[in-house]
Structures are given as structure tokens and as C-alpha cells.
Amino acid sequence: MLSTEVCEYVLSRGSVRVGILDLGATLSFLEMPDRKGQVKNIVAGFPHRELYWQNDYYFGCIVGRYANRIGEGRLQLDGRVVQLSVNNDGNHLHGGFEGLHRKRWRPQSLIERDDASGIVLEYMSPDGEEGYPGNLRIQVSYVLDGAGRLYMDYIAVSDAATPVSLTNHSYFNLSGFENPVIDDHLLRIFASRYTEKNGANLPTGRLLPVKGTPLDFTALRSIGERIGQLSRDQGYDHNYVLDGSLAGELSVAAELYDPDSGRQLRILTDRPGIQVYTANWWDGSVVGSQGVPYGRHGAIALETQAFPDSPNQPGFPDTILRPGEVYRTTTIFQMNTK
């Protein structure tokens, strides 16, 4: 019988500590100091590890095989129709009902160097899981260095063509949830365009400018300044087209800053997109690891990713991994205080 006990591994460098679970390869806590040296956990999570078996909000986990949505869970692949599970308003979301967030990942190795510590976790996703073709072997490594950078490196190979887009789904409140909402956080997104979406939260295929819309974070501005203009989504839930990542090179995707605490987060990635989601449907029913209920706009998720529904959008970057190819991508969370 499969044990339900969840193992946690702790990475520590200086005043920054990170917890990683073998369930969902989940980032369970991220502790960093404010400008006065007070250390707080800045990510959403559960107070007990076993609660992550029912992680409906995807706190801190790796999601996939395909992050975000695939329309009707259906795609054409090499002349045939692939039908994935449908788990979100008629679409496939974040890998399905039992996606990577509900899988036990096997620790492969620990990393211990003078300047960094880390862990490598692996999961073998079998052919047909949630409808995906091919046996997909995935490795995710978390490495924390002395400069306050958390590296997340993803590697995957498959024995059959299959769509792949992996991300970490952490939610951030840089006050350590002392402030119950992130409206006063300042955000900058290095993107001048976004993927237009329809009423089903699927891309139309058009890339539109953010200028003149509430989605414009090309300069640092508060999240709450125009969040009320997004009534349909109850806040931000949009995929941005990153200006610096279409060439597949590592560049800054977003900056988040809490003026009260002085904590700052910079996100670097080689992915083409980043999904910005402001916890629009949190309702206070979950009391998190900080001992406070998580309410609407209590945190922000910044998910580096391929564009949603890319397998059905020929104008979007290709997301099909084929035998003999290696899926390889890196995202960095860089923590600072100012």
C-alpha cells in the first residue's frame, strides 16, 4: 500500500530557507528576511504536509504535463486526435485530475556545494496518463545559492511525441501574509503584449499590446491600482508574452516588490510566457501555513510557461516534445531586500 507520508527537504543558505516536498515536487515554504531582518514565509502553503494530497489551489507544486489550459482537452498530433482528461469547465488544466502535483517524486540526488545546496527529483509519467501519449521521464532540480537565488531546472524526455510545458505554481505575498492582500505590492512585467483570450479562458491566437489596458505593467505599479477593472476574472489571470524570452535565453520576466517589508522578488526565465494570477477565487476557507485564512487577492502566482493551448494555435511556439529531443528550461526566483 502506498504510504501517504510526505517527505520534506530543507535547503538553507544564509537567512533564506526553502522547503521541498516529494509530493508534487512542491515548494512548501520560502523564508526570507525583511529590511529589519525579520524572517517570514512568503509563499502560500498548508500547515500540514498531508494536506497537499488535496491541493486544489496548486500551492507551490509542479504542474503538468501541460501547465494552463488545452481547449476541450483535445489536440491534433501527427494526424491523429489526442484526447486528454477534461477537468476545468470543459478544458484540460494543469495536467488533469491527477497531474504532476498529485504524484510522488523520487529524490535522485542531493546537491551540496560551498555556494549552494539543492535536490533533484524525478517522476516517470507513464504512457496514457491523463490521456498523454508516451512515457515521459521528468527531472526537476531546486538549487539555492548564497546570493538568495533559487534555481529551478526542468529536464524531460519522451519515447513518443507529446505536449510538454512545466511550471512551478507558487503564490507570493512578500509581507509574509501579514497584509492579507497584495494590492499594495508593486509589479513590473517585462512584456509589451499578452495572449488575448475568449470567454472560456482560451487564447484566440492574437497577441495584443498591453498599452492602454489594465494589463500594462511595463513600468512598476501597484497591483491594486486597476485590478477592479477586471470584473470578469475578478482580478488578473492572463498570460503575458515576454519581450526577452522568445529567443530561449534567460532574461528577467517580472519584478515584485513590497514597499512595507522591503522584500523583492525577481523572476528570470527562458520561457516565452508568464501567467499572472492574483488568487481571484480564494475565499478564506483555507487557513495557510502562516496561520491566517487565504482570501481573495491574498497572493500572486507568476507562472513561467509556454503559451496556453499552444498545441491548437499554429502561430504559437511549438510545445511538442519528440523522441530524441530533450525538454530543458530554467526559471530563477531571486530574493532581495531593499
33 phi/psi in degrees, rounded to 5: -85, 155
Residue 101: active-site member: no
User: Over the range 98-117, which residues count as b (16 or more CB within 10 Å of their CB) and which as e?
Assistant: ebbbbbbbeeeeeeeeeebb
Radius of gyration of the chain (CA): 19
* CA distances (Å), origin 273, targets 71, 90, 195, 314: 18, 23, 9, 16
- Give the side-chain half-sphere CA count within 13 A for 215: 24
Residue 178: active-site member: no
Contact status, residue 319 vs residue 311, Cβ threshold 8 Å? yes
- 318: which DSSP letter? P
Q: Choose among 250, 249, 289, 288: nearest CA to 266.
A: 250
- 71: which DSSP letter? G
Tallying the residues shown for the chain, one arrives at 338
Contact status, residue 304 vs residue 272, Cβ threshold 8 Å? no
Among 169, 185, 238, 297, the one annotated catalytic: 169
- Quick one: 314 exposed, middle or buried, by C-beta within 10 A (0-12, 13-18, 19+)? exposed
Q: What's the CA dihedral at 118, 338, 58, 162 to 10 degrees?
A: -60
CB atoms inside a 10 Å sphere around CB 313 = 18
Distance of alpha carbon 100 from alpha carbon 155, whole angstroms: 14
> Which amino acids are annotated catalytic?
169, 303
